[in-house]
Structure 1
Amino acid sequence: MQVWHGIEQIPDGLSGSVVTIGNFDGVHRGHRAVLTATAERARSLGVPAVALTFDPHPAQVHRPGTTPPLLTGLTDRLALLAEVGIDATLVLHYTLDLAALTPEEFVTGYLRDALRARAVVVGHDARFGRGNSGDQHTMAALGQEHGFAVDVVADVGADRRWSSSWARELVESGDVAAAETILGRPHRMRGVVVRGQARGRDLGFPTANLAPSATGTIPADGVYAGWLRRHAGAGERLPAAVSVGTNPTFGDIAERIVEAHVIGRSDLHLYDEEVVVEFVERLRATVRYEGVEALVAQMRLDVADALAVLGESAV
């Protein structure tokens, strides 16, 4: 998938496209319905399928310091967009000046002139332009005026519409299995492995600690069955027991940390490597144990439980 950071990077030879617009945080199943429709429409017209997205997230610009963490950072968002068949993504740097554009200014500048849209695919609740004043009806009217079709994709979900906010609520409560139903995949975090206090290694359970700058919503404190993917997520997938919290048994860590014990592997050297940690199921809440022996006994149980959830054999 091509990635264009600004309209100046769009190839001069682009003769047309089918475009969809959104923040796409998490690229959940609701997003995928719109993205798949975009890709299918593009194939029918013989032009690229283009996603137009924003970085940083608009909420971080309008309400800095008060917004919840994103489900996915930009790297994962782009990877997930590529997986559903998008040919190119235009990443617009979101600013207050961009937010001030009227719906017509946004459409003519980006969809008509820059991307030469032949069709635009939007969700039922699409909003765009100054003050979110544009909606699907505005887009349809502008499409008729400027020569592109507009396809509207209905909301997706059973009892409740699938949304980024719902998936985030589930992740933050620790119900990552339910979040997977909305996301269509395990929730993930991406970060560089940094040196911790090496307690896990001393106890026989070495862990890969994610740097505080890791992207992705941190789940509720507890122990999870999951996977660690090496080489920025493109390499081997290894079964893991993942701990989230402050290690209360030792009581000397103030900030929450995410650390993954790759089960059955003590030969890995992951420091300074970017990895992806996927959360499959929460095994238990965080507990403070009286003494190291009780903690180690529980960690052995956690490893066995994680293997059972992941369908892996003991190693």
Structure 2
Amino acid sequence: MQVWQDLAQAAEAFGAGGLGSSVVTIGNFDGVHRGHRAVLERVVGLARADARAAVAVTFDPHPAQVHRPDEAPDLLVGLEDRLELLAGTGLDGVLLLTYTLDLASLTPEEFVTGYLVDGLRARTVVVGHDVRFGRGNAGTLATMVELGGQHGFEVVAVDDVGREGSHLAAAGGGARWSSSGVRALLAEGDVRGAADVLGRPHRVRGVVVHGDARGRELGFPTANLGGITGMVPADGVYAGRLLRPALAATDPDHPDTVLPAAVSVGTNPTFDGVDRRVEAYVLDRADLDLYDEEVVLELVERLRPTLRFDGVDELVEQMHADVARAREILG
């Protein structure tokens, strides 16, 4: 999948002898959940049928971080993971636009003609019924259809997707698969419910940094994450997996590329901790040197909330129970 950082790169890719024309969709695609993938699969299917390029237009930073920085939502995934997940849908390219107030000031027609028509040579635009674009979000589905008639592209409207009885419905978020619904589930620590909507385990990414070494002293050496991207769920202990992308890239058959883990999120209240941390104990392994390595944690199931114990012995007993339960869940 090609990633174009600006309009000039995209226009060059679609120039003479290049990609030709495209089927395009627009969105933030935070988390690239199952609802997003339904739209993206439609884009890819239409593009393959008409021998066109399948393209998504997305934005970084998230528009809310520019317009309402104090109210911007936690992002489900960082940019690296978003692009990786988008690539997994079969897209041919992503136009990654830096979201600024200047970009936001474009009228709906200026945005569509400049980016979709002239830049990406769109012949089909796939959007949801609630699409909004252009200055003040003035553009709607009806606007897109009107512009399509004027500039020679078809508009395909995709219905909301989800299902009754989903975890989102149980959480009061309705059955529609949405990024905001996943955030609500993660805020409650319901990573299994989040996975139902995402179509995969929720992940966070970070670099392993030095901590207090308290876990090693207790017999459970942990990898402490710094520089975390991805929404950190509610405090608690989780069964999960530690992924090592760099090792997988150089030696994909290495047995240590994916490791079962028990993951702690919280402040370590038994030791009067203040800082909120994410740390992972790789089950039954004390021989790993992960310092300064970028890792990904996939969170499979919450085992329990964070608790304050009366002493170290009680804590260690519970940690043994957590590890046993994680081992059972992860298989």
Smaller-chain TM-score range?
A: over 0.9
| 1:247 alignment counterpart | 268
Any gaps of 5 or more consecutive residues in structure 1? none
Q: After superposition, what is the alpha-carbon deviation per residue over 1:233-262, rounded to whole angstroms, capped at 9, x for unaligned?
A: 9562111100000001111x3221000111
**1:138 aligned residue:** 143
Matches within 5 A, 1:10-25: 10=10, 11=13, 12=15, 13-25=18-30
Give the letter for the 1:267 counterpart. D
1:36 corresponds to which of 31, 38, 41: 41
Q: Deviations over 1:73-123 (max 9, x none)?
A: 110100000111111111000001100111100000000000001111112
Q: Which region of structure 1 is more displaced relative to structure 2, 233-242 or 38-47?
A: 233-242
| Residue identity matched to 2:196 | T
- Does 2:295 match 1:283? no
* 1:131-177 deviation per Cα after TM superposition (whole angstroms, max 9, x unaligned): 11111121111111101111111100123211000000100110111
Q: State the distance in 2 between where 1:29 and 1:207 align.
A: 32
Tell me which residue corresponds to 1:165: 180
| Corresponding residue number in structure 2 for 1:5 | 5
Is the counterpart of residue 218 in structure 1 residue 232 in structure 2?
A: yes
Residue 197 (structure 1) aligns with:
212
How far off its partner does 1:14 sit?
3.2
Q: Percent identity?
A: 65
1:231 — aligned with what? 245
In 2, the alpha carbon distance for the partners of 1:125 and 1:184 equals: 23
Aligned-residue Cα RMSD (Å) equals 1.2
- Asked if structure 2 preserves the Cα contact closer than 8 Å seen for 1:227 and 1:238, the reply is yes
Distance 2:119 2:276 in 1: 44
Alignment-derived partner of residue 147 in structure 1: 152
- Match for 2:8: what amino acid? E
**1:69 touches 1:217 (CA, 8 Å); kept in 2?**
yes
Q: TM-score of the superposition, structure 1-length normalised?
A: 0.96
Q: Is the 8 A contact 2:64 2:73 kept in 1?
A: no
Question: 2 CA distance for matches of 1:67 and 1:255?
Answer: 22
* Residues 17-71 of structure 1: CA deviation (Å, up to 9, x unaligned): 1111000001011101000000101101112111100000000000113212100
**Count, aligned residues:** 309
Q: What's the CA shift string for 1:165-203, capped at 9, x where partnerless?
A: 000010011011111111111111011111111111111
Distance in 1, Cα, partners of 2:93 & 2:3: 6
Say whether the 8 Å CA contact 1:231–1:273 is kept in structure 2.
no
Equivalent of residue 174 in structure 1, options 186, 189, 196: 189
Q: Which residue in the other structure is 1:66 paired with?
A: 71
Does 2:87 align with 1:82?
Answer: yes
Letter in 1 for 2:269: P
Distance across 2 between alignment mates of 1:178 and 1:295 = 28
**Cα distance in structure 1, aligned partners of 2:158 and 2:328:** 39
What SS class does the counterpart of residue 296 from structure 2 fall into? Answer: strand
Provide the rounded CA distance (Å) in 1 between the counterparts of 2:149 and 2:28. 25
